[in-house]
Chain A
């Protein structure tokens, strides 16, 4: 609980006790769109992850998705696939990821942190223990694309119990009936994957994306985030006033790999105007 700028009861800043949805005020309300950035933990190394997060905070991003690497990341395209595998090859463990997250949650109080990973990482840690650990650290949401909600009741219940938001994904192919179900089950926001396919390749934002977002809006009870294939400031401008959050993933990593941290700083300026 935050009061007069002071944290009470020893709770961490950005604690999951503050509901994620309440912190998302962008989109149609006329506020500027919020940016969610992404990092694969341990790639290229934790120090670079830390510096990236510092840049995210400086540039005005609001949410950060930290991906715990998995050996079989089936929803990820080549850039993330490589990063997952390189991170694991350098010895990244779940424990290191949790420790790192604890540090950045404390050091960057202006940001809300979420975890993205695959279900087996959660299962092997122990579903409830994992969610509990996330809550204790101050992780606010969990994006687990292969925790198919109908088959993952234990996970969904643990999230509810420990007040960590399970973020569910919808796509242009999701039926309206299912969309209603998913939007009722999701936590802080609904993650709209703008197209089919894996992460990475460009999405052409246009009439179809707009129709998709409009359809989601008419059903969703939560704020919405649009991701998959956002590569430029222009893509973000397109989403402004339509989506509450824009998610930038692969492009950030590509810029980091090609132009280093200073390139990322420049890129973020084009995405998030001051």
Chain B
């Protein structure tokens, strides 16, 4: 057994600073669910309250994190990147080294354990980039439950390698052909499954959004990121960072890394949304940074959504499938309103540029989602000085993005390879 010290006291201390028992975060949150799901939510609330106090549960969770997922993940000093900009010292929290390559497994393991406690035999999940789907399929395989993953048809095309892995891990992957065929539509389909299956099935929501208590549950299971990062930075620098950066799709990796720093008012927290093709393009998912999100109720909760005057949700867009969500965590919407978290956006172009810099200076390949956090930090770094410290949460690794990145970088050799491969498959099929 590794000496992994995170206990339920540290996790709850970090999470309790932010989560609310009544499910309201200022003007946001709540639980706007159809009547049929009332018993399902009552059950989840009851079990979540119980596990919060249950040391044995957290021991099991933490040992899975340590001995299965590989935590703690390192905090890497990015010396070459720091030198490249010549301003703030940059540290990178390495969630890419978590098993399955992203922070998503922290939450999936926690919720699948919770599902087992509730006596469920099956889990369902939605996924955008596929990372949460892979994490859920993995946790279900490890803990012996069956899994069904909903994924927008558009996202399946964009992240096919993850579809492949989910299926190999034994999960059923269901393509969602409605709406914008992205994350929000996958959530709707998962909810439709759940209203007829809740007796046997737990819905492993992948991000800190949705009806209460999901934002709280996901925040709890992601709190380890910030707990570790804080200990690590104190150990190497003897002081807290000036700024912490994280990308924001629904908000789980951001809340994960922010929670432990939240009580320290002098640590700036920055959420970076998907700027897509930029402000005013109508092709982005920057609900807060571009000031275009409006308060509303959908998918069971109240938050800022990109919507029209009639309350119909707009289509969103990002190069990064995992950030392409129409709403945002109610906890983050509130923290933004209270001025505690600053929101910015990075455009697709900025993200591709940032990715090239990171790869060449640090030998790291962040996921396109995570690269938004880097791009946000790079946009700010000229304002910083050598006495500042940045922590950037690298929420996941970029292997899954090889097709998109090759396309974004117009890599002709890669395209030629894909053509050769396709011909080879065609010939062998004959």
Cβ < 8 Å to A, chain B residues 59-106:
none
Q: Is the CB of B299 within 8 A of A174?
A: no
Separation of A174 and B191 alpha carbons in the complex (Å): 18
Per-residue CB contact flags for chain B residues 187-220 toward chain A (1 = under 8 Å, else 0) read 0100110011010000000000000000000000
How many cross-chain pairs have Cβ atoms below 8 Å apart between A and B? 99
Separation of A75 and B33 alpha carbons in the complex (Å): 9
Cβ < 8 Å to B, chain A residues 129-188:
145-148, 151-152, 168-171, 173-175, 178, 182
Q: Is the CB of A88 within 8 A of B312?
A: yes
Is B307 an interface residue when CB atoms closer than 8 A count as contact?
Answer: yes
Instruction: Return A209 CB to nearest CB of chain B, in Å.
Output: 15
Separation of A125 and B313 alpha carbons in the complex (Å): 14
Instruction: Return A143 CB to nearest CB of chain B, in Å.
Output: 11
Is A222 an interface residue when CB atoms closer than 8 A count as contact?
Answer: no
Is A41 an interface residue when CB atoms closer than 8 A count as contact?
Answer: no
Q: Is the CB of A174 within 8 A of B35?
A: yes
Separation of A71 and B327 alpha carbons in the complex (Å): 13
Is A46 an interface residue when CB atoms closer than 8 A count as contact?
Answer: no
Separation of A203 and B298 alpha carbons in the complex (Å): 27
Q: Is the CB of B188 within 8 A of A74?
A: yes
Q: Is the CB of B35 within 8 A of A120?
A: no
For A150, the closest partner residue in chain B by CB is B31
Is A198 an interface residue when CB atoms closer than 8 A count as contact?
Answer: yes
Cβ < 8 Å to A, chain B residues 298-341:
298-300, 305, 307, 309-313
Is A113 an interface residue when CB atoms closer than 8 A count as contact?
Answer: no
Q: Is the CB of B311 within 8 A of A74?
A: no
Is B34 an interface residue when CB atoms closer than 8 A count as contact?
Answer: yes
Is A267 an interface residue when CB atoms closer than 8 A count as contact?
Answer: no
Q: Is the CB of A170 within 8 A of B35?
A: yes
Among B179, B192, B297, point to the contact of A119 (Cβ < 8 A).
B297
For A200, the closest partner residue in chain B by CB is B192
Q: How large is the interface on A (under 10, 10 to 19, 20 to 34, 35 or more residues)?
A: 35 or more
For A124, the closest partner residue in chain B by CB is B311
For B315, the closest partner residue in chain A by CB is A71
Instruction: Return A12 CB to nearest CB of chain B, in Å.
Output: 24
Is B275 an interface residue when CB atoms closer than 8 A count as contact?
Answer: no
For B184, the closest partner residue in chain A by CB is A72
Separation of A119 and B32 alpha carbons in the complex (Å): 9
Instruction: Return A196 CB to nearest CB of chain B, in Å.
Output: 5
Q: Is the CB of B311 within 8 A of A148?
A: no
Is A85 an interface residue when CB atoms closer than 8 A count as contact?
Answer: yes
Instruction: Return A100 CB to nearest CB of chain B, in Å.
Output: 14
Among B34, B198, B298, B309, point to the contact of A72 (Cβ < 8 A).
B298
Is A70 an interface residue when CB atoms closer than 8 A count as contact?
Answer: yes
Q: Is the CB of B307 within 8 A of A120?
A: yes
Is B378 an interface residue when CB atoms closer than 8 A count as contact?
Answer: no
Q: Is the CB of B192 within 8 A of A71?
A: no
Cβ < 8 Å to B, chain A residues 99-133:
118-125
Q: Is the CB of A93 within 8 A of B310?
A: yes
Interface centre among B34, B300, B305 (most CB of A within 10 A): B34
Per-residue CB contact flags for chain B residues 157-199 toward chain A (1 = under 8 Å, else 0) read 0000000000000000000001100001000100110011010
Q: Is the CB of B31 within 8 A of A70?
A: no
Is A197 an interface residue when CB atoms closer than 8 A count as contact?
Answer: yes
Knowing A81-B178, A88-B312, the reply to whether A148 touches B307 (Cβ < 8 A) is no
Q: What residues of B have a CB within 8 angstroms of the CB of A73 in the complex?
A: 188
Q: Is the CB of A72 within 8 A of B313?
A: yes
Separation of A175 and B42 alpha carbons in the complex (Å): 11
Separation of A152 and B31 alpha carbons in the complex (Å): 10
Q: Is the CB of B36 within 8 A of A171?
A: yes
Task: List the 8 closest pairs (A to B, CB-CB), nearest first.
Answer: A124-B311, A197-B196, A120-B311, A71-B312, A71-B313, A169-B35, A120-B296, A145-B34
A sample of 7 inter-chain contacts (CB < 8 A) reads A72-B184, A74-B191, A81-B178, A94-B311, A124-B296, A148-B31, A196-B36
Which residues of B are interface residues toward A (Cβ below 8 A)? 30-36, 38-39, 178-179, 184, 188, 191-192, 195-196, 198, 294-300, 305, 307, 309-313
